[in-house]
């Protein structure tokens, strides 16, 4: 059953009232019923057209809106009848419809609504969906889902982690997504299956954050493979302060890991790290002099105008927290007290000088990730992190609710992509 939403004899707003007054004036002046009727039809047609999307219908307002098919961006949307009814019960409104989609590690609820405050009832919704709260957590932090607005109002998404047994196959590394001569790295796929690409001509630095087992090391491996396939012949420098076997196997121009101290114990080779960072800073300073003399702003202009053999430099640093803490605890006369300043300088000069910096941290905290470095890392690759504080420091709130084994949220400036990192088997 449907009902009329407007009545020509009962104006409800200024537009309708003025329309009727104007129609009456013309009618009385000309005495022409036809003129008044035409004016009324034209005016109401304009109003109906102008407010169609605000009202959500054309001429008649349905008493109920059944789950059906709609389209978005030219693609059909199948609304889930049972999910739609569940959401209507929770929010006590008929103005909501829900479609169900699936990704490798998530079930995805796409929620079409009339500007609902979904986060206010997220707890109730989670209970109705059978999602268990996290022990020891309160409020929204206790609800292990990822919620975000697809648009500012009207469409939202809820990502619910699948059980590990239901995860799809790992994302294979896809060299076909790369372009020869372009400093781009492929690191995984979005939940829609689109490639996640970092364009280092625009994004010279990236932070990789994720707890043990999240897939952080694999991001370094995949990025390294991508850069080798660019055809740019980049230098590869690896600072691996945990001695990770996967990073040790990668081809490199220099590899710094651990050393033996005076007591015969294995420790991070901080002096080796400092010497490498200092040498790279000197090289970038020399490069910037040459680029300025050639009237070039950065390496990419210099390669195009002067020397297309100029090599980009890739620097991988894992684990950044070890550097930060070593600098804080070193003797005042020890040069490694300046190790973070050296790294910050590289981060600042990287885009112009052609240094591509990837820094990794298991548990990002503000004291170990100074703003002089954080502000230069425009790209944040955030995997599963331990808690909301770590997700906030990494720059993507909600990342603590991601699954393990490669689930990632990648922030390029103000744009965030959600997906899963690519994987390269150890024997390839």
Is 233's pLDDT higher than 60?
A: yes
CA angle 321, 322, 324 (to 5 degrees): 60
Average pLDDT for 299-323: 94
Per DSSP, the three-state class of 274 is helix
The pLDDT score that the predictor gives to residue 375 is 86
Task: State the Cα–Cα distance between residues 150 and 104, nearest whole angstrom.
Answer: 19
Query: Which pLDDT band, with edges at 50, 70 and 90, does 348 fall under?
Result: very high
Buried b (16+ CB within 10 A) or exposed e, 132-165: eeeeeeeeebebbbbbeeeeeeeebbbbbbeeee
Task: State the Cα–Cα distance between residues 257 and 221, nearest whole angstrom.
Answer: 16
Query: Which pLDDT band, with edges at 50, 70 and 90, does 73 fall under?
Result: very low
The pLDDT score that the predictor gives to residue 2 is 34
Query: Which pLDDT band, with edges at 50, 70 and 90, does 425 fall under?
Result: confident
Task: State the Cα–Cα distance between residues 339 and 351, nearest whole angstrom.
Answer: 20
Structure tokens at 324: 């930060």
Query: Which pLDDT band, with edges at 50, 70 and 90, does 5 fall under?
Result: very low
Indicate the range of 136-145, 236-245, 355-364 predicted with least confidence: 136-145
Task: State the Cα–Cα distance between residues 298 and 133, nearest whole angstrom.
Answer: 50
Report all structural domains of the chain as residue ranges with CATH numbers, in order of start.
2-62 (no CATH), 69-166 (no CATH), 171-423 (3.40.50.300)
Q: What is the pLDDT of residues 126-162, one digit of tens each?
A: 999 999 888 877 777 788 888 887 765 678 899 999 9
Is 298's pLDDT higher than 80?
A: yes
Average pLDDT for 352-372: 91
Q: What is the pLDDT of residues 206-227, one digit of tens each?
A: 999 999 989 999 999 999 999 9
Query: Which pLDDT band, with edges at 50, 70 and 90, does 394 fall under?
Result: confident
Buried b (16+ CB within 10 A) or exposed e, 209-226: bbbeebbbbbbbbbbbbb
Task: State the Cα–Cα distance between residues 67 and 83, nearest whole angstrom.
Answer: 10
Given a contact cutoff of 8 angstroms between Cβ atoms, the answer to whether 272 and 256 are in contact is yes
Is 268's pLDDT higher than 70?
A: yes
Q: What is the pLDDT of residues 179-208, one digit of tens each?
A: 999 999 999 999 989 999 999 998 888 999
The pLDDT score that the predictor gives to residue 34 is 63
Structure tokens at 311: 């090599």
């Amino acid at each position: 059953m449907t009902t009329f939403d407007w009545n020509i004899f009962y104006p409800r707003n200024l537009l309708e009232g003025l329309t009727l007054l104007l129609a009456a004036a013309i009618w009385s002046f000309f005495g022409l019923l036809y003129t008044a009727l035409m004016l009324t039809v034209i005016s109401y047609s304009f109003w109906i057209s102008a407010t169609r999307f605000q009202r959500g219908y054309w001429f008649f307002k349905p008493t109920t809106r059944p789950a059906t098919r709609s389209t978005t961006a030219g693609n059909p949307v199948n609304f889930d009848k049972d999910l739609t009814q569940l959401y209507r019960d929770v929010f006590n409104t008929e103005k909501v419809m829900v479609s169900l989609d699936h990704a490798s590690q998530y079930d995805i609820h796409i929620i079409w609504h009339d500007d609902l405050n979904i986060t206010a009832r997220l707890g109730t919704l989670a209970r109705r969906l059978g999602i268990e709260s996290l022990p020891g957590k309160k409020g929204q932090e206790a609800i292990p889902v990822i919620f975000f607005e697809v648009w500012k109002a009207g469409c939202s998404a809820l990502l619910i982690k699948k059980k590990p047994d239901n995860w799809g196959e790992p994302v294979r590394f896809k060299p076909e997504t790369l372009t020869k001569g372009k400093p781009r790295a492929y690191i995984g796929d979005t939940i829609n299956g689109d490639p996640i690409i970092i364009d280092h001509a625009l994004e010279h630095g990236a932070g990789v954050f994720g707890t043990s087992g999240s897939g952080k090391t694999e991001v370094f491996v995949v990025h390294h493979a991508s850069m080798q396939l660019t055809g740019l012949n980049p230098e590869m420098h690896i600072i691996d302060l945990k001695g990770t076997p996967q990073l040790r196997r990668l081809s490199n121009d220099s590899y710094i890991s651990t050393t033996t101290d005076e007591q015969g114990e294995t420790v991070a080779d901080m002096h080796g790290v400092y010497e490498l960072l200092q040498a790279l800073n000197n090289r970038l300073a020399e490069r910037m002099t040459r680029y300025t003399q050639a009237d070039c702003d950065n390496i990419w202009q210099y390669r195009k105008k002067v020397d297309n053999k100029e090599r980009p430099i890739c620097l991988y640093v894992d684990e950044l927290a070890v550097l930060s803490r070593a600098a804080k605890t070193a003797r005042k006369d020890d040069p490694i007290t300046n190790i973070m300043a050296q790294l910050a300088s590289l981060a600042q000069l990287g885009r112009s000088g052609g240094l591509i910096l990837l820094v990794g941290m298991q548990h990002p905290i503000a004291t170990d990730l100074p703003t002089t470095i954080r502000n230069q890392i425009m790209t944040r690759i955030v995997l599963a992190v331990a808690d909301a504080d770590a997700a906030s420091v990494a720059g993507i709130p909600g990342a603590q609710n991601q699954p393990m084994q490669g689930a990632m949220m990648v922030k390029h400036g103000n744009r965030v992509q959600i997906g899963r990192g690519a994987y390269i088997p150890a024997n390839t």
